[in-house]
Structure 1
Amino acid sequence: MGNGSSKLPWRRDNAKKTMKVKATHRSNSMSGAVDSDRRGSGMQRAMTDGALQVNFKESSFLESVDQKLNGISFDLKINDLNGNAMSNASNNTDGSGLTLLPTVQRKNSDIKVSKYRDTISDLELYNLIIAETWQGHPQIHDTGYLLLLDCREKSEYEAAHIITSRHHSALYSEYGLLMPSQLKLFQIIILYSNSSFCKNILEISKKLSEDEVEHFLLQSGSSQFFEKYPFLSTQGHYLTSDMRNTLQTMPSEILPGRLYQGNAKHALDSYIITSLGISHIVNVTLEHPNRFEDTVKYLRIQLDDRPQVDLHAWLPRTSEFVQSAIGRVSIKSQTTEKHENGKDSGDNRTPGDVSSKKEVVLVHCNLGRSRSSTVVLGYLMQACRMTLKDASRLLKDCRPTVRPNIGFLEQLLQYEKEVFGKNVSDLNDLPF
């Protein structure tokens, strides 16, 4: 974010290429690049002259991980898929065919760590699992989209694991399952265990790095993730397309455990409302009813998704409604702090410091892209003191398919001017 650097995951621009890597989509294979010059993101994807750019960043969290890895003896004793001990057997598109993925945000760091490894938060993993394509289909239906590797003991995996995950022993099958050439076909690989520092996860991470396989480590342990998202815990196996096709999308998590954005189907699904603990809903549709009025508090705005529609007039009321439920959230961005204090104070744009209020809000329109995005962005500016530029980047990171229409974007610029006293964002800087 600083020094003129921009964090737009889907922007078609030129970026420096420092090392070639391979990235493959099930229907579209293209070259990629690791970019170590841009700041602020663990993984970004952009189209530049037909090339897929995958940028992996460094994290101070991994300094201690690397220190622990240096002291590990690599005499691996690993179970195969049948539980038998064996030795180490191995040393949604935008119209272009590219699947748009949420960006994994990272704090800046000067510490040198493996260029093939980074960390991911619970919120980021949740949004990856429940993400949708531009056609509205669940991303998880694609078996080449996300590989989750459970690095715990086999008995723990069998008792409960994150949905679609495989046990790490699959890496060392006598059949050569999931070896480096196959692993590099996955768009995203994430390792998790009881702790980010347990021996199994560090050994496997080191091995993947040696094989030049990009991957992420879940920052928290599996127990914490299960506590936050018990509905994503299962004993079942979803390894085939037919199995994955039974899974559905859910609303994207914008602020941890407090603010979600989704579509009309989500808002009409009692399982989703109950699982996420939704207490307040902003319904910005013409046709969809307030189905759960006995248990949920609603704000209904019957407006169409057209550029000439005046949604700006509703933004103070929608922001007040959301704030009455979840309060103000501290998300100080570098741009905002420079504007308010006259100096930079570091990029701290990651959601956090949610108020003590216990309510949970869902904002939805028909598809969860234009009207609902406008309402969420209005709240982030008004209550969280984020500029439109920073709020848009945060929202796009959490829900890649958001796209307010041009009329609503102009209205949001007007609202930003009212909130901050002047415009500090430009329409051309927004990631839509």
Structure 2
Amino acid sequence: MGGVMICEPSVLYNMLNQYTNVSKLADINYLYLIDSRYKLDYNTGHIITAKNAQRDSKGMFVVPENVEVESMRHIVVYDSDTSSLKDLGEAVRCAEVLAKVSLYPVLVVRGGYQKFSALYPFFRSVKIMYTIMELDNFEPYPVEIVVGLLYMADHNQARSPKMCEDLKISGMLNVSSTALDCETANHPILDVCLADSVTADLFSSLKRICVFIGSHVKKGSPVMVTSTHGISRCSAATIAFLMHHFKYSLEDAWKYLKKCKSNMRPNRGFVQQLSDWELHTTGQRSTDISEPNF
């Protein structure tokens, strides 16, 4: 069985915001999010799409009969404020029951509902039931790359005044073929005009990109990186920043970003230029970009 692991609130936030053409929440086997608090607390407010944990007549947690737990790719449990697996709080006890039948690790959210809702108050809800259509139409937020500081988005998300306000965006980097039309934006936008082509020259703009993102991150001001679909160009720019700012290798930056956004995919031309950037920032090419992962 998968066992039980602790996870940061940002991990759950990014799980909730994965999508391809539609939100991954519409996939019934993607995420089972459980609120292990008592029903009164759950009804007062919970994380969006969460289900209240099932208990028997003695108040003990049980595996729900109406959910195929063993086939769930992600099972995440939270309570009020559990911060460690050693706490043996409601979330840990619930997770241990589910872990007996799950093929994957069951995650417990560090800090529980209190911490998650403090970081992402716009994801609090009292809604209990969701139709497939509602989940299909769920609008994912930009994924979080550096907690509270760096986000990655497509153009629809970048143009959303509500999302930018909720995330307190103070600056935006747009890497696309045209300037970003964002009339309601009250933050500076740096447009780096670049086609999503294997022949496009990204490398010559990487220093300017990293300086722009870094200037916001160092000030503690949230910044968003965006491209048309939020998959290739903004992923390449974000990877370059992670390599520059945190001194990551290309491989480490790639794996880090993949955990944040599962369908990120810089085109092959950008991958080669990121390899050149690795040499520039670290003095060596430590990543073999001929491997299938790249």
Map 1:182-193; keep pairs closer than 5 Å. Answer: 182-193=68-79
* Per-residue deviation, 1:128: 0.3
Letter paired with 1:375: A
Moved more, 306-315 or 237-246: 237-246
1:2-29 Cα shifts (integer Å, max 9, x gaps):
xxxxxxxxxxxxxxxxxxx7xxxxxxxx
Bigger proportion of residues as helix: 2
Which residue of structure 2 lines up, in the alignment, with residue 415 of structure 1? 277
Distance (whole Å) between structure 1 residues aligned to residue 49 and residue 7 of structure 2? 17
Distance (whole Å) between structure 2 residues aligned to residue 275 and residue 427 of structure 1? 37
Distance (whole Å) between structure 2 residues aligned to residue 361 and residue 271 of structure 1? 15
Letter paired with 2:204: A
**Correspondent of 2:18 among 127, 131, 144:** 131
1:278-320 Cα shifts (integer Å, max 9, x gaps):
1111111224524157511111011110011101100000000
Map 1:53-202; keep pairs closer than 5 Å. Answer: 115-133=2-20, 136-169=21-54, 172=56, 178-179=64-65, 182-196=68-82, 197=87, 199-202=89-92
- 1:368 aligned to 2:253? no
Moved more, 311-320 or 197-206: 197-206
From the superposition, tell whether residues 212 and 275 of structure 1 become closer, same or farther in structure 2 (CA, over 3 Å).
closer
SS at structure 1 position matched to 2:173:
strand
SS at structure 2 position matched to 1:299:
strand
Distance (whole Å) between structure 2 residues aligned to residue 305 and residue 413 of structure 1? 17
* RMSD of aligned residue pairs (Cα, Å): 2.2
Letter paired with 2:47: I
SS at structure 1 position matched to 2:216:
helix
Which residue of structure 2 lines up, in the alignment, with residue 233 of structure 1? 124
| Equivalent residues of 1:143, 1:239 under 8 A apart | no
* Per-residue deviation, 1:211: 4.0
Distance (whole Å) between structure 1 residues aligned to residue 243 and residue 292 of structure 2? 14
Distance (whole Å) between structure 2 residues aligned to residue 202 and residue 208 of structure 1? 10
* Per-residue deviation, 1:125: 0.5
1:346-367 Cα shifts (integer Å, max 9, x gaps):
xxxxxxxxxxx22111101111
| Equivalent residues of 1:282, 1:298 under 8 A apart | yes
**Please, what TM-score do these two structures have when normalized by structure 1?**
0.62
Moved more, 292-301 or 150-159: 292-301
| Equivalent residues of 1:165, 1:237 under 8 A apart | yes
| Equivalent residues of 2:3, 2:96 under 8 A apart | no
Distance (whole Å) between structure 2 residues aligned to residue 279 and residue 290 of structure 1? 16
Which runs of 5 or more residues in structure 1 are unaligned?
A: 1-20, 22-114, 328-356
**Correspondent of 2:209 among 318, 330, 350:** 318
How many pairs are equivalent?
285
Distance (whole Å) between structure 2 residues aligned to residue 213 and residue 286 of structure 1? 43
| Equivalent residues of 1:191, 1:217 under 8 A apart | yes
Distance (whole Å) between structure 2 residues aligned to residue 288 and residue 161 of structure 1? 39
Distance (whole Å) between structure 2 residues aligned to residue 288 and residue 165 of structure 1? 38
Which structure is higher in RCO with an 8 Å CA cutoff and minimum separation 6? Answer: 2
Distance (whole Å) between structure 2 residues aligned to residue 410 and residue 211 of structure 1? 43
* Per-residue deviation, 1:198: 5.5
Letter paired with 2:13: Y
From the superposition, tell whether residues 360 and 144 of structure 1 become closer, same or farther in structure 2 (CA, over 3 Å).
same
From the superposition, tell whether residues 199 and 287 of structure 1 become closer, same or farther in structure 2 (CA, over 3 Å).
same
Map 1:342-421; keep pairs closer than 5 Å. Answer: 357-421=219-283
Which residue of structure 1 lines up, in the alignment, with residue 152 of structure 2? 261
1:31-85 Cα shifts (integer Å, max 9, x gaps):
xxxxxxxxxxxxxxxxxxxxxxxxxxxxxxxxxxxxxxxxxxxxxxxxxxxxxxx
Higher-Rg member (1/2): 1
SS at structure 2 position matched to 1:386:
coil
Which residue of structure 2 lines up, in the alignment, with residue 270 of structure 1? 161
